[in-house]
Structure 1
Amino acid sequence: MAALVLRPGRSLDGPGLYRHLELLLPPYARPRFLRLQVPAMTETFKQQKVRLARDGCDPALVAEPLLVLDEAARAFVPLDPERWERLRDGRLRI
């Protein structure tokens, strides 16, 4: 999983990000999940990695937008509860 902070007023281009990462990273190194978040820093300007790891990528636990890598669509697509259940059941593979 990768956690991203977008600049104000910007949105994520899922297919564009896929194409960009396809050029830079081999398939095994591409993140399978993305979490779009507001800056989550401590008082000493460190990321809250423990909280991010604890919450994981379950849409029921994470309030921020989550995306998953969809190789068939060649894009990052929203991770909704229905897609999450298909992933957990093994009906959808990443």
Structure 2
Amino acid sequence: MYTTESIKVALTQGSVQTSFTVYTDFMYYTKGIYQHKFGAQEGSHFGVFVGYGEENGVKFWIIRNSWSPSWGEAGYFRMIRGINDCEVEDACYLASA
């Protein structure tokens, strides 16, 4: 598992691919900071970390999704950062030249 700090450092060099567990509630995401709350495990999915931030004291990752620009926040979603929600911080893939 990568740490939040190591992912942030990697983001200074480019994007970071991740895989995470998808639960039913993720299918209903439209905006805001996602944190798994309910539903069965539906499978897994890939996304790309492109940044991070904090809103009202809640730290989050900015992740690009592949489901189209009409999904979520213009094709992106924000996921709570630092608690490995949905195992998003477990399986990161960094490109190397």
User: Which of structures 1 and 2 has the bigger CA Rg?
Assistant: 1
TM-score range for the pair, normalised by the shorter chain length: under 0.3
Q: Which has the higher helix share?
A: 1
For normalisation by structure 1, the TM-score amounts to 0.26
Q: Which has the higher strand share?
A: 2
Higher relative contact order (CA 8 A, sep 6+): 2
For normalisation by structure 2, the TM-score amounts to 0.26
